[in-house]
Amino acid sequence: MQEVKENVKPFRVLYVEKDERLVKSFQEAFQAQIDVISVPDGRTALAHVDGREPIDLVLYNDDLDSISFLNGLVARHTTSQLPVVLLTDRTNIDLTVDPFHGHVIDAFPHDYSEDALRIRLSYLIQKKAYGQSGYVNPKSSSIRIPLGKRLFDIGVSLFILTLISPILLVVAILVKLDSKGPVFYSSKRVGTGFRIFDMYKFRTMKTGADQLLAGMASQNMYNAPAAEKPADERCEECQLAGTECQRPLFMDQKQICETLYQREQKAKAMFSKFKEDPRVTRLGKVLRNTSIDELPQLFNILRGDMSFVGNRPLPLYEAEKLTTIGYARRFAAPAGLTGLWQVTKRGKSKVSDLERIQLDVLYAKRYSFRTDMLILLKTLKAVWQKENV
């Protein structure tokens, strides 16, 4: 195993900052984890991005014209997947719009907490190490969809899409008439080998549903019983001072309180699922109970993002909590539309996140064509679930 570790390349961070004191402070804090290359402006940063030595992350001071730098990345199609973290004191920044969208994965205040930034860096470092070292499963082919499985996915998904195209059209019209908002919902998911992609579904929730998620922790089926989260999203210090949040932290393009985030990590469940979810529309309940909402994922299967059978691709905030070696084994299997967990635990309220991980890891160890066929057969019986989850 020592030889494998030596082959893992260091994680290289391009730090765009002209204040040498800040650069030195950053290097001293994180030099044990990463290699730091510092440059004073965006033009020099783009030159390094174009260089031969790969950059794993850009840490950019927003005061140094981040817009020009991001526009430069947009023009370079080969660097479209290069993640960027902004250091900014702007609290109203919208990371979902261009040129931030698709490039900036997080934003931290200039007086960021080292612990908070270390959490984010650790996830990115472990994600890279997983793909390079093969520590979870030494065979590199194990994190790729096998050829036979892939041919099956292409043939069957193409056949089904052709067959059900009228149904897809009718459902799309009904979703549009049922409630305001887009027909389809897409979200970033982490799949095979930690690869991130856009997963598609028919929209089943009301617009703005994500804003209600923070106040629903007590309803999470994976959570231990906990007190209801207060409506005020500020920590006690900010509430007593009567000010807005003084330590905003941006994760997955959303602003949260850094103090509250640190406090809740240990108590937070690894997965989120709700019974009788009030965010779901009337039509959405029907689509979910019949699994019709997941039909657009056939396009993901056709593209190769997923397979028919595998471990469910996770949202980024869930995948972040599964980067330790024992948990990360689940990502050695293909991402799937259905899987071992769905046909054994789906719709059951008494299922812990640990049980779900164990089932995912079990599938990653033993999956085969025969196993997949058995799961598909069981899925046909399981899709008509009775519980509204």
Which is more confident, 354 or 198? 198
Q: Please give the radius of gyration of the chain, using alpha carbons only, rounded to the nearest integer.
A: 22
Structure tokens at 81: 């997947």
Residue 71: burial class (beta carbons within 10 Å; 0-12, 13-18, 19+)? middle
Alpha carbon separation from 18 to 42, 56, 57, 61 (Å, rounded) = 10, 20, 18, 9
Query: Which pLDDT score is estimated for 349?
Result: 47
Per-residue model confidence as pLDDT tens digits over 368-377: 889 999 999 8
Which is more confident, 199 or 321? 199
Whether the full predicted model's pTM is greater than 0.85, yes or no, is no
Q: Give the CA count within 13 Å in the CB-facing half-sphere of 89.
A: 5
Cβ-contact 334, 145 below 8 angstroms: yes
For residue 256, what are the β-bridge partners? 249
Q: Among residues 299, 306, 296, 300, which one has the least CA distance to residue 331?
A: 306
Per-residue model confidence as pLDDT tens digits over 192-240: 877 888 899 999 988 765 555 555 555 555 554 444 455 556 666 666 6
Query: Which pLDDT score is estimated for 316?
Result: 77
Task: Calculate the CA 2 to chain-centre distance.
Answer: 30
Query: Which pLDDT score is estimated for 350?
Result: 53
For residue 197, what are the β-bridge partners? 189
Residue 247 predicted with pLDDT over 70: no
Residue 152 predicted with pLDDT over 60: yes
Task: Calculate the CA 304 to chain-centre distance.
Answer: 18
Q: From CA 363, how far away is CA 21, in angstroms rounded?
A: 50
Average pLDDT over residues 174-187: 89
Dihedral of alpha carbons 263, 268, 273, 275, sign = negative
Query: Which pLDDT score is estimated for 318?
Result: 76
Where in the chain are the domains?
2-133, 140-206+273-382
Amino acid making up residue 254: K
Other beta carbons less than 10 A from residue 225's beta carbon: 5
Which is more confident, 140 or 51? 51
2-133 homologous superfamily: Response regulator (3.40.50.2300)
